[in-house]
């Protein structure tokens, strides 16, 4: 049986890590001090690169390489921590923000130092009002202790951290929409290129990193790149917090080495309810396709999830047992994306609502012949032709369950003889 390994989650639920004193007793801010006193920014970047750490927000892009995209000739650059967690099924950043704010802050400081940024921002989802207040208090505690501000630890390094609260919009988790929202605009994704590394916040080179990604910098500095890279699979290194929910007995955040199998993850979360059998798992948030029984022994990592036709995404792992109505589930997620579309791109804006309405008919057993073919065609049509990935996120779940549970959909279609004239 696979092991839960508490790295970022160590102490959560046991100690009050919101208190800077408690965090320090457990070794907090030591790595920040060591980085400033003993390491060059390039050393921190190198450690991150060698550790194989990949972005934990969804895309899985190697963090070190992302930092290296920043143009070398521009001194002004920004680090933005993405805490706009809203992918259906994800709840790890919510936990880190509220339960381990100083760890998140130390990660932000280390990331800022690595890329020589002097003003970092954290964009916090509007709904996380409590988390925002907790994080603002953590910033003030750290400031009072001299961990941020001018001349940190008597060095030449200045760093300011500003917490910014959103106001309700899933799309702001997309990095360029996030930057627009941080600039006080509508959270609409930008045209790329230019990518944020070239022209991001206020037009300056910017790196946007997820909360969990930045938090992992702290143990990587403490224990070394090798410690992290030794765990996981060939191209998916280290640990990851998996948010397991749905039809399991003990839903929660579980930190495991990448490559733990799908079956082991279900077991870790207490398994299915008695007498129930597995129908499907959505392994990477609302945007991901389902995987099924035949995938149970796959290692849960970026490559194997992609090979199975899905993705690891943000690590939101939703389990469905045999009681699940997949027509309702598909309607639920399509409605979500339709609701959250920013409206810039016609295929996403119109297609989402179109599909939502067709699915709503099906939910109420009022489907008309041709509806399932229409869902197929519309979802394929709107995929790949939008500015950002939101429009492309509508298809995967729907398509996977429409294929697998075709009967559940087909039986909601009115037969010819019962159709209204």
Residues 126 to 145 in contact with other proteins, rule: CB under 8 A: 126-130
- CB 397, min distance to other proteins, A: 9
Which residue number, 188 or 264, has a Cβ lying nearer to other proteins?
A: 188
CB 393 within 8 A of CB 311: no
- 68 closest CA partner among 56, 84, 50: 50
Which residue number, 214 or 329, has a Cβ lying nearer to other proteins?
A: 329
Q: Is 393 in the site for other proteins (CB under 8 A)?
A: no
Proportion of the chain in helix, strand, coil states, percent, rounded to 5 = 45, 15, 40
Q: Is 186 in the site for other proteins (CB under 8 A)?
A: yes
CA distance 135 to 141: 10
Query: Per-residue contact track with other proteins, 239 to 258, x per CB under 8 A?
Result: ----xxxxx---xxx-----
Query: Per-residue contact track with other proteins, 86 to 125, x per CB under 8 A?
Result: xxxxxx-xx------------------------x-----x
CA distance 152 to 33: 9
- CB 149, min distance to other proteins, A: 14
For residue 238, what is the DSSP state? S
Q: Which stretch binds other proteins (CB under 8 A): 38-46, 178-186, 224-232, 364-372?
A: 178-186
Beta bridge partners of 367: 413
Which residue number, 90 or 213, has a Cβ lying nearer to other proteins?
A: 90
Which residue number, 64 or 173, has a Cβ lying nearer to other proteins?
A: 173
Which residue number, 197 or 359, has a Cβ lying nearer to other proteins?
A: 359
Q: Which stretch binds other proteins (CB under 8 A): 39-47, 62-70, 301-309, 330-338?
A: 330-338
Instruction: Count residues binding other proteins (CB under 8 A).
Output: 75
In the window 217-236, what residues touch other proteins (CB under 8 A)?
none
Q: Which stretch binds other proteins (CB under 8 A): 67-75, 80-88, 218-226, 229-237?
A: 80-88
Out of 135, 354, 405, 409, the only residue in the binding site for other proteins (CB under 8 A) is 354
Length reported for the chain: 421
Which residue number, 37 or 250, has a Cβ lying nearer to other proteins?
A: 250
Number of CB atoms found within 10 A of residue 421's CB: 2
Beta bridge partners of 165: 124
Buried b (16+ CB within 10 A) or exposed e, 66-93: bbeebeeeeeebbbbbbbbbbbbbbbbb
Q: Is 369 in the site for other proteins (CB under 8 A)?
A: no
Which residue number, 236 or 288, has a Cβ lying nearer to other proteins?
A: 288
In the window 331-350, what residues touch other proteins (CB under 8 A)?
332-333, 335-336, 338-343, 347, 349-350
Out of 300, 320, 405, 409, the only residue in the binding site for other proteins (CB under 8 A) is 320
- CB 320, min distance to other proteins, A: 7
CB 340 within 8 A of CB 268: no
354's tokens: 């179109």
Which residue number, 41 or 252, has a Cβ lying nearer to other proteins?
A: 252
- CB 85, min distance to other proteins, A: 5
For residue 62, what is the DSSP state? B
Q: Which stretch binds other proteins (CB under 8 A): 49-57, 216-224, 290-298, 377-385?
A: 377-385
Which residue number, 239 or 254, has a Cβ lying nearer to other proteins?
A: 254
CB 123 within 8 A of CB 111: no
φ, ψ of residue 231 to 5 degrees: the values are -100, 150
Out of 328, 364, 403, 406, the only residue in the binding site for other proteins (CB under 8 A) is 328
In the window 286-315, what residues touch other proteins (CB under 8 A)?
286
- CB 46, min distance to other proteins, A: 29
Q: Is 381 in the site for other proteins (CB under 8 A)?
A: yes
- 230 closest CA partner among 238, 222, 220, 241: 238
- 120 closest CA partner among 168, 159, 157: 159
CA distance 17 to 349: 42
Which residue number, 174 or 188, has a Cβ lying nearer to other proteins?
A: 188
CA distance 77 to 191: 20
- CB 371, min distance to other proteins, A: 14
CA distance 345 to 339: 14
CA distance 207 to 112: 9
> Please, where are the H alpha helices in 364-405?
371-382, 395-404
Q: Is 190 in the site for other proteins (CB under 8 A)?
A: no
């Amino acid at each position: 049986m696979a092991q839960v390994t508490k790295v970022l989650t160590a102490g959560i639920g046991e100690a009050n890590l919101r208190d800077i004193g408690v965090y320090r007793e457990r070794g907090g801010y030591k790595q920040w001090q060591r980085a400033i006193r003993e390491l060059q920014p390039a050393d921190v970047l190198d450690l991150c690169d060698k550790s194989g750490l990949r972005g934990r927000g969804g895309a899985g892009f190697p963090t070190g390489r992302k930092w290296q995209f920043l143009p070398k000739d521009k001194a002004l650059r920004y680090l933005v921590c993405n805490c706009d967690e809203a992918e259906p099924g994800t709840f790890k950043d919510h936990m880190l923000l509220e339960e381990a704010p100083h760890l998140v802050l130390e990660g932000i400081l280390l990331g800022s130092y690595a890329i020589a940024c002097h003003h970092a921002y954290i964009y916090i989802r509007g709904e996380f009002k409590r988390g925002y207040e907790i994080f603002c208090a953590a910033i003030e505690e750290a400031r009072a202790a001299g961990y941020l501000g001018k001349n940190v630890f008597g060095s030449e390094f200045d760093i300011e951290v500003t917490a910014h609260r959103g106001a309700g919009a899933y799309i702001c988790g997309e990095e360029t929409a996030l930057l627009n929202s941080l600039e006080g605009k509508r959270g609409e994704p930008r045209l790329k290129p230019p990518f944020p590394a070239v022209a991001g916040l206020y037009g300056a080179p910017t790196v946007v990193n997820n909360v969990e990604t930045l938090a992992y910098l702290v143990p990587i500095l403490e224990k070394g790149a090798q410690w992290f890279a030794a765990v996981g699979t060939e191209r998916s290194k280290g640990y990851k917090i998996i948010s397991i929910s749905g039809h399991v007995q003990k839903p929660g955040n579980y930190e495991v080495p990448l490559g733990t199998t799908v079956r082991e993850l279900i077991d870790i979360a207490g398994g299915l309810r008695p007498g129930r059998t597995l129908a499907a798992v959505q392994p990477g948030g609302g945007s991901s396709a389902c995987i099924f029984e035949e995938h149970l022994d796959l290692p849960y990592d970026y490559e194997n999830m992609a090979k199975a036709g899905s993705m690891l995404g943000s690590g939101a792992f939703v389990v469905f047992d045999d009681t699940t109505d997949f027509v309702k589930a598909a309607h639920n997620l399509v409605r979500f994306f339709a609701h959250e579309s920013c409206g810039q791109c016609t295929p996403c804006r119109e297609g989402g609502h179109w599909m939502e309405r067709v699915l709503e008919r099906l939910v109420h057993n009022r489907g008309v012949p041709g509806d399932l073919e229409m869902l197929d065609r519309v979802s394929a049509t709107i995929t790949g032709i939008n500015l950002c990935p939101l429009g492309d996120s509508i298809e995967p779940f729907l398509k996977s369950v429409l294929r697998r549970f075709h009967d559940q959909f087909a039986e909601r279609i009115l037969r010819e003889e019962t159709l209204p004239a």
